[in-house]
Structure 1
Amino acid sequence: MTDCGCEKARRDLEEYLRNEVCKTQHADIKDHLESCPDCRDEALVARTLTDVLARACKEAAPEELRDQVLSRLRAVQATH
């Protein structure tokens, strides 16, 4: 396993974080992140953003808001 360098680590970062790279690539990127503070910081930002978005997608809109949006959509569709 070798350090893959900043360019490859950043290019494959999203796939790495989703465990979508082969074991060799995963190990190489992991080694790079352990030795490169800039790429490690970028990975932390990407991981945090992914986690926040995942949590936000699980939240449901209040029923009243949902009803208002659907009502508006129906009104717009009726006029077009």
Structure 2
Amino acid sequence: MTDCGCDKAKHDLEEYLHHELLADEAADIRDHLATCSSCSNEHQVGVVLIEAVQRACRETAPEELRAQVLTRIRALQTH
């Protein structure tokens, strides 16, 4: 594997975070992240963001809020 450089690492970071790269490409990004603190920091921000979104998607609204939203939707649909 080779160090792909900052430009390629930053360009492909989103796909890397979502495991959408071919194995060789992912290995090149991983090698680069191991030696570049700037890209590694961007990678860490991406990881934290993905984890936050995943947590938010697992949470459900309180039952009272859900009932209010459904009532409002039904009211809008009847007009």
TM superposition score category, shorter chain reference: over 0.9
Compute the TM-score of the two structures, normalised by the length of structure 1: 0.92
* Mean Cα deviation higher: 33-42 or 9-18: 9-18
Compute the TM-score of the two structures, normalised by the length of structure 2: 0.93
* Distance of 1:63 and 1:3 partners within structure 2: 51
Segments ≥4 residues shifted beyond 4 Å: none
Aligned to 1:34: 34
Question: Quick one: percent identity of the two aligned structures?
Answer: 54
Shift of 1:23: 1.2
Aligned to 1:47: 47
* Distance of 1:58 and 1:11 partners within structure 2: 29
* 1:65 has 2:65 as partner: yes
* Distance of 1:27 and 1:59 partners within structure 2: 34
Give deviations 1:29-49, integer Å, cap 9, x for gaps. Answer: 011111111110000000100
Q: Gaps spanning 5+ residues in structure 2: where?
A: none
Aligned Cα RMSD in Å?
0.9
The total of aligned residue pairs comes to 79
SS of residue paired to 1:21? coil
Q: Gaps spanning 5+ residues in structure 1: where?
A: none
Task: Give the counterpart letter for 1:45 in structure 2.
Answer: V
SS of residue paired to 2:78? helix
